[in-house]
Amino acid sequence: MATPTKPSNVNGVDQPYYVPDQSKFPALASLGMGLMVFGLGSMLNDMKADVSSTVSSMMAVLGFAVLGTVLFNWFATQIRENHEGLPGPQLKRSYVLGMYWFIFSEVMFFAAFFGSLYYVRNFSVPWLAGEGDKGVSNMLWEGFQGSWPVISNPNPTLFTNPNESMAWRGFGEALHYLPLWNTILLLSSSVTVHIAHTALKSGNRKQLIGWLGATVLLGIVFLFLQVEEYAEAYSELGLTLNSGIYGSTFFLLTGFHGFHVTLGAFMLGVMWFRALRGHFKPEDHFGFEAASWYWHFVDVVWVGLFCFVYLL
Amino acid sequence: MLPSLSIKPTPAVHSGRLRTLAAGFALMFASPALLAEWGINMTEGVTALSAETFSLHMLIFWICVAIGVLVYGVLIYSMIAYRKSKGAVPATFNHNTTAEIIWTVIPFLILIGMAVPSTRVLTQIYDSSDSDLDIMVTGYQWRWQYRYLADDGAEVTFFSNLATPPEQYENYEGSLAAEKGENYLLEVDEPLVIPAGKKVRFLLTSADVIHSWWVPDFSVKKDAIPGFVNESWVRVEQPGLYRGQCTELCGRLHGFMPIVVEVKEQADFDAWYAERQAAAQRISDAATQTFTMEQLMAQGQTVYNTYCMACHQANGQGLPPAFPALTGSAIATGPAADHINIVLNGKQGTAMAAFGTQLSAVDIASVITFERNALGNSVGDMVQPVDIVQAQAQ
Amino acid sequence: MATGHAEHHHGPATGFTRWLYTTNHKDIGSMYLWFSFAMFLLGGVFALVIRAELFQPGLQFVDPNFFNQMTTMHGLVMVFGAVMPAFVGLANWMIPMMIGAPDMALPRMNNWSFWILPFAFTMLASTLFMEGGAPNFGWTFYAPLSTTYAPASVTFFIFAVHIMGASSIMGSINIIATIQNLRAPGMTYMKMPLFVWTWLITAYLLIAVMPVLAGVVTMMLFDIHFGTSFFSAAGGGDPVLFQHVFWFFGHPEVYIMILPAFGVVSEIIPTFSRKKLFGYDSMVYATSSIAFLSFIVWAHHMFTTGMPLAGELFFMYATMLIAVPTGVKVFNWITTMFRGSISFETPMLFAIAFVVLFTCGGFTGLMLAIAPADFQYHDTYFVVAHFHYVLVPGAVFSIMAAAYYWLPKWTGNMYDETLGKVHFWLSFVGINVLFFPQHFLGLSGMPRRIPDYALQFADFNMISSVGAFLFGFSQLLFMFIVLKTVMGGKKATAQVWEGAEGLEWTLPSPAPYHTFSTPPTVK
Ligand code: HEA
Ligand code: HEA
Ligand code: CUA
Ligand SMILES: [Cu+2]
């Protein structure tokens, strides 16, 4: 691929725009994406039909590999172009805007799940339990008590009851309450990443590397604890994806959050390597900033989760 | 009986096409009564609320027509008066605060004028309290079940199935297989029967997917949602037959689950109800009797055609892979116990429903016997109602 | 560092890779437009299957299950494949030219947004050939018909929606970044052409609701494959929850399909009236109000689900309110024509038809908003008539108007005006024969999504089907006209239309491959 160059002089006039040359990345990324989801879809359908086919999983893996490789090279190119000073300040503003709106779209994704949680807690579960405007529904589920968390499902043969929920267990248990630790971890990681940012802005690379590394570590510990929590849920509390609406909302909200933490930690990890390599300048470090915004976003979502999924 | 059909069937399929067409174009100018007769407008219906809904509909319609006349009038006037070809010279104005305020405020006021009666009617529709009779309506793929909730425990429950035979609607070979009847697709084997002049409350739910219960003449349309109960109600003064359809996409035969409601005078209703209770008794008594092969096969054929044919097809070949064939199927030709089990309990996660809660022991025994000895199968054994009762007891 | 590489004065690369690897907004715009036209034909063919089956009572050609697949695929392909990409294509072509930018803000991502679509739709269309058949639960895919009772292909449907959503989100991020960041000096927000404004607001809507759609299909995926119970009462969930989340996306979605159309019409009417757009400011505010209101009206699609009375009333009032800002727009267009100097070239004909027929569809929308009356209208052909009036002579006509309006700028050639007019009149007559009788069908009680119907509906169905074939085949003429214009024809001037205003008309026709590499200054 031809190295993108800056058409700094067109028709004899200087101009500030940078338009990249042709690129193979987008088409290949689409191919990877297409293969990946087609493979994943086939895998899920195979699983459901109780057959196994290597074609499906190979397709998914191949697609994932293509997509991953492309994205890696894409970002690498982006970074190289940046080193070469190709994007002007205007293009950098576009990146900033792009990141803002991307994060906003993620907020809306979580909003769908938070909204659903709100709905089931305030409408459908009470209705099924005989309260409110559609309380007659209870005639179909005699004996169903609608307290939140739902420990006893309307139909326990279809959706097995959990033994216990993840709700706050009182101050006596606080020390053993993993979500509380996770909150502390994530909140402090937001602080550390902020300190790293300040360090970067004042040109202190050592501190940057140290604090950023600490942030990534905190993220990893968070994930580790979450895995621990899930293991406990499955093996001891009997709380699974199949335990009715409480398990459904619990695992999807915390699961997608955990997935985003993974992404965020990965992004920060990449930034850490780039920091090691001396990529960032005090006045120009958009990659770092984007990752740290993302991290703050993930953190804010967690605070929401902690309140609405665990405490209230 | 006086069938009161607001939607008038045209006698032959396409006669009167011109007439309807003409009526169509006359919509803007015709009077409401005429509109209803030609089948191009909403029915006024037969209840107080359906009449109110109808006037609400006409009110909004005429308001829209009026606004339309105004808006289109100015548009057409401009198109004619300010043509360039006629040498029109463009004016230069592009702003007029007064005009803009006026055409923001006036529509707003008009909307308030619409909202007031709408709110009133809606509030009435939502008031289902103080009913005289409660009926549970349950949607199934693809039939309705009606259960009269009686205080004395002697409930009456039955299914209401499409009565139009497939010969009338399956025209795949190009020729009309059979002449379509007058109430083509809007007829059922057993209509819902309610007393005239009484407030009847419907409790709607579903056994599988979402259905929606609609009788235009009652202006009642309410979704039947699995796991939840919705309420609606009706008070019909005029005895007669009223027809409607399922209006929520519910799978393959969504277009084939009509609703027929028969409104009877209270005395007739009572007689009908007593007869229904007695019949229910007879059916449950029959569960202890023993039947001959002929009896079982004959009854089995009827049950099969009504309840199973939609999926497993008339010849038992099914529609694989969605609906398996019964001809030669391992279950239908294997041990009777498995066969009974799947029909009684269905199969979770598939379209095969649990018929144990829907059909009587006699019907289940007959249909199983039928499936084992017809449709190309010839196992030779018989399943009696007692077998079903025993299986259910376990 | 003034390394003025020669290849940068270049035009496009040649061959297929020009399109595959392009980063040029015009190329990407063209691909979007062609893709959308292909999808329009595909979705149209599905519609013709529907109309053929409904020509007469009785089941003539297809099994009811296949009919449901046709209805579903028709809706999905038209909405996500035809209308949305067409507007994105127009945005790609026109927004940079209208605001004086050299290209879109993030050109590589722009190409990614496009190339996802062929994969998504190939996957979706391939379900037609799968065991168990394509999705058959309607484009609104209500649970549990789309979960517990769905064919296996639903999994592919879900993933197709996921990646389409990714495409839309990237596309709209690009559009927002372009508009916020790449406007030429002097091009303040309140000087932007209305097409740019409406797209800016549409892009906000997209970013806000596509993730919600992704969320709801994800919940479906988990209900189907991982045993959760979001939409099952047996586990404490609710099928109606699905509808709330879906329509939270779905209602703004329908405005996503109409706001850019408003923009297009607001460009065309002033041009051919030779008069400035009346009430520019109020147009901007009206568009914003519509967008805002679109977030709080979603449950008007759910009046019959038995929501509590307070909910019904709230959603009824909020929905009715939308008539006010929409009315402002209609009045502004008409006042623009009032005392103008009007000529009737093809784009103008389509634009006027848009105003007339969209308003018609808006009126029926308002009728549907009246909850008690909606109990009678809901899920009948009255609704089908409503939304086709706003979508076909609404959105689709505006796209055609835009195509005629800007074709000379795109290709450098004038289209054949006589053929254009023929195409317009065939479409105009066809569409009304097709959809007007459906009002009567709905009012007299014909439910939607049925392959067969009672006899009293026979006449109007027959008329409607005739209209469908007339309208459908007229679109082949459109394809012919466009191809003919691309190949040659009378050369267009830069100005093209005497009354046109805006930066795009300062460029030569055809617009050079790279434009505004130096920003123009707007006074
Ligand atoms: C481009 C797409 C589009 C647009 C613009 C609209 C516009 C509107 N729609 Fe429509 N709608 C759809 C696409 C669209 N709709 C689709 C696809 C469905 C069906 C989905 C499905 O179920 O498959 C649907 C369904 C639908 C329903 C649900 C019906 C049902 O299922 O029972 C309702 C109910 O309120 C509704 C209302 C409205 C209203 C009030 C408007 C308003 O925005 C209209 C406003 C415009 C005007 C009113 C005209 C101009 C105004 C004036 C001239 C001013 C003066 C007027 C007055 C004061 C009356 N729509
Ligand atoms: C923008 C969206 C859009 C557009 C443009 C259309 C266009 C058309 N729609 Fe639309 N329709 C929807 C969106 C749209 N529709 C939606 C959302 C639904 C609801 C789905 C649901 O219920 O889930 C629906 C449902 C729907 C129904 C109801 C189905 C049912 O309830 O069962 C019907 C029935 O008449 C119908 C008809 C048509 C027709 C005849 C056209 C015509 O305008 C189409 C005209 C175009 C053509 C006919 C193409 C021309 C092609 C050729 C001539 C062949 C050439 C071939 C090659 C080159 C290979 N549509
Ligand atoms: Cu039942 Cu449609
Ligand atoms: Cu809507």
**What one-letter code names the amino acid at B155?**
E
Among C375, C378, C301, C454, which residue's Cα sits nearest to residue B234?
C375
Among A22, A108, A137, beta carbon nearest to C208:
A108
Q: Ligand 2 pocket, C395 CB below 6 A?
A: yes
Do the domains B133-284 and B290-393 sit in the same CATH topology, yes or no? no
Q: Is the CB of C476 under 6 A from ligand 2?
A: yes
pLDDT at C11: 65
Decide if C443 and B61 are in contact by the 8 Å CB cutoff: no
As beta bridge partners, residue A14 has A9
Query: Mind listing the domains of chain A with CATH numbers?
Result: 22-83 (1.10.287), 87-311 (1.20.120.80)
Lowest mean pLDDT among B186-190, B281-285, C155-159: B281-285
What are the pLDDT digits (tens) for B17-33? 444 444 444 444 444 44
Instruction: Domain ranges for chain B, please list them.
Output: 48-83+98-125, 133-284, 290-393
Residue C353 has pLDDT above 80, yes or no: yes
Q: Give SS3 for B131.
A: coil
Q: Which of residues 124-143 of A touch B (CB under 8 A)?
A: 124, 127-128, 134, 136-137, 139-141
CB contact under 8 A, C278 and B214: no
Q: Closest residue (by CA) to atom 16 of ligand 2?
A: C75
Cβ(C368) – ligand 1 distance below 6 Å:
yes
Task: Indicate whether residue C76 lines ligand 1 (CB < 6 A).
Answer: no
The CA B257 to ligand 3 mean position distance, Å, reads 6
Could you give the CA distance from residue A210 to residue A199 in angstroms, rounded to a whole number? 10
Please identify which of the residues C25, C26, C74, C275 carries the catalytic annotation. Answer: C74
Confidence of residue B322 (pLDDT cuts 50, 70, 90): confident
HEC profile for A140-206? HCCCCCCCCCCCCCCCCCCCCCCCCCCCCCCHHHHHHCHHHHHHHHHHHHHHHHHHHHHHHHCCCHH
Neighbour subunits, B (≥3 Cβ pairs < 8 A): A, C
Identify the bridge partners of residue B220 per DSSP, sorted by sequence position.
B215
Chain C residues within an 8 Å CB radius of A22: 13, 17-18, 21-23
- C-alpha B354 to ligand 3 mean position (Å): 18
Q: Give the residue on A whose Cα is nearest the Cα of B321.
A: A49
| Res B336 pLDDT > 50 | yes
Is the C-beta atom of C392 inside 6 A of ligand 2?
yes
pLDDT 10s digits, C171-225: 999 999 999 998 988 899 999 999 999 999 999 999 999 999 999 999 999 999 9
- Per CATH, the architecture of B290-393 is what? Orthogonal Bundle (1.10)
Please name the residues in contact with C293: beta carbons below 8 A apart, sequence gap of 6 or more: C318, C321, C322, C325
| pLDDT higher than threshold 80 for residue B13 | no
Active site residue C491: no
Compute the distance between CA of residue C499 and CA of residue C502 in angstroms, rounded to an integer: 10
Asked if residues A124 and C238 have their Cβ atoms less than 8 Å apart, the reply is yes
The tokens of A85 are what? Answer: 């000073």
A274-278, B19-23, B286-290: least confidently modelled range? B19-23
Looking at per-residue pLDDT, the higher value among A172 and B162 belongs to B162
Taking 70 as the threshold, does the pLDDT of residue A125 lie above it?
yes
Q: Is the pTM of this model over 0.90?
A: yes
Task: Please work out, in degrees rounded to the nearest 5, the angle formed at the alpha carbon of residue C354 by the alpha carbons of C353 and C355.
Answer: 90
Question: Which residue of chain A has the CA closest to C206?
Answer: A105
Decide if C280 is catalytic. no
Active site residue C168: yes
Q: Which residue's alpha carbon is nearest to atom 1 within ligand 3?
A: B211
Residue C187 corresponds to which tokens in the numbers above?
């091009």
Taking the CA of residue C325 and the nearest CA in chain A, the distance in Å comes to: 26
Residues of A in contact with B320 (CB under 8 A): none
Q: What is the pLDDT of residues C28-55, one digit of tens each?
A: 999 999 999 999 999 999 999 999 999 9
Per-residue model confidence as pLDDT tens digits over A39-73: 999 999 988 888 888 888 999 999 999 999 999 99
Q: What is the mean pLDDT of chain C?
A: 93
Nearest ligand atom owner, CA of C290: 1
Q: Does residue C86 line the site of ligand 2, with CB under 6 A?
A: no
Contact indicator for C272, C342 with CB cutoff of 8 Å: yes
Note if C448 is an active site residue: yes
Residues in chain A with CB shorter than 8 Å from the CB of B128 are none
C contact chains, 3+ CB pairs < 8 A: A, B
Report pLDDT for C10: 57
- Which residue is associated with the tokens 């996306």? C249
Ligand 3 binding pocket, CB closer than 6 Å: B 139, 142, 211, 246, 248-250, 254, 257
Residue among C306, C443, C447 whose CB faces B222 most closely: C306
DSSP B156: E
Residue B22 is predicted with a pLDDT of 44
Q: Going edge to edge, which strands form the sheet with B240-246?
A: B192-195, B258-264, B240-246, B211-215, B220-224
Q: What is the pLDDT of residue B52?
A: 94
Confidence class for position A16, pLDDT limits 50, 70, 90: low
Higher pLDDT, C488 or A11: C488
Closest CA to C492 of C412, C402, C437: C412
Shortest-distance atom of ligand 3 to CA B250: 2
Q: How far apart are CA A88 and CA A98, in angstroms?
A: 16
Determine the residue of chain C that is closest to B324 in CA distance.
Answer: C132
Inform me whether the pLDDT recorded for B307 exceeds 90.
no
- B28-37 long-range contacts (CB < 8 A, ≥24 apart) are B28/B65, B32/B58, B36/B6, B37/B8
What is the ipTM score, two decimals? 0.91
Question: Is C326 one of the annotated active-site residues of the chain?
Answer: yes
Annotation marks residue C266 as catalytic: yes
Confidence class of residue C482 from pLDDT cuts 50, 70 and 90? very high
Tell me, yes or no, if A154 comes closer than 8 A to chain B by beta carbon: yes
Question: Is the CATH code 2.60.40.10 the one for domain B133-284?
Answer: no
Mean pLDDT for the stretch of residues B181-210: 93
Contacts 24+ apart (CB under 8 A), C61-67: C61/B172, C62/C451, C63/B252, C63/B319, C64/B252, C64/B253, C64/B254, C64/B255, C64/B256, C64/C451, C64/C452, C65/B251, C65/B252, C65/B319, C65/B322, C65/C133, C65/C136, C66/C133, C67/C451
What number does the ligand 2 atom closest to the CA of C468 have?
40
Is the CB of residue C39 below 6 angstroms from any atom belonging to ligand 2?
no
Active-site pick, C32, C255, C405, C505? C255
Averaged over C304-318, what is the pLDDT? Answer: 95
Separation CA A146–CA C382 (nearest Å): 40
| Chain A nearest CA to B228, separation (Å) | 5
Mean of the pLDDT values across residues C245-251? Answer: 96
Atom of ligand 1 nearest to the CA of C395: 1
Taking the Cβ of residue B208 and every Cβ of chain A, the question of whether any pair is shorter than 8 Å is answered with no
Question: Which chains pack against A, by 3+ Cβ pairs within 8 A?
Answer: B, C
Between C14 and A45, residue with greater pLDDT = A45
Cα distances (angstroms) measured from residue B180 to each of B114, B175, B184, C56, C67? 42, 12, 6, 12, 21
Does residue C121 surpass a pLDDT of 50?
yes
Percent of chain B residues topping a pLDDT of 70: 88
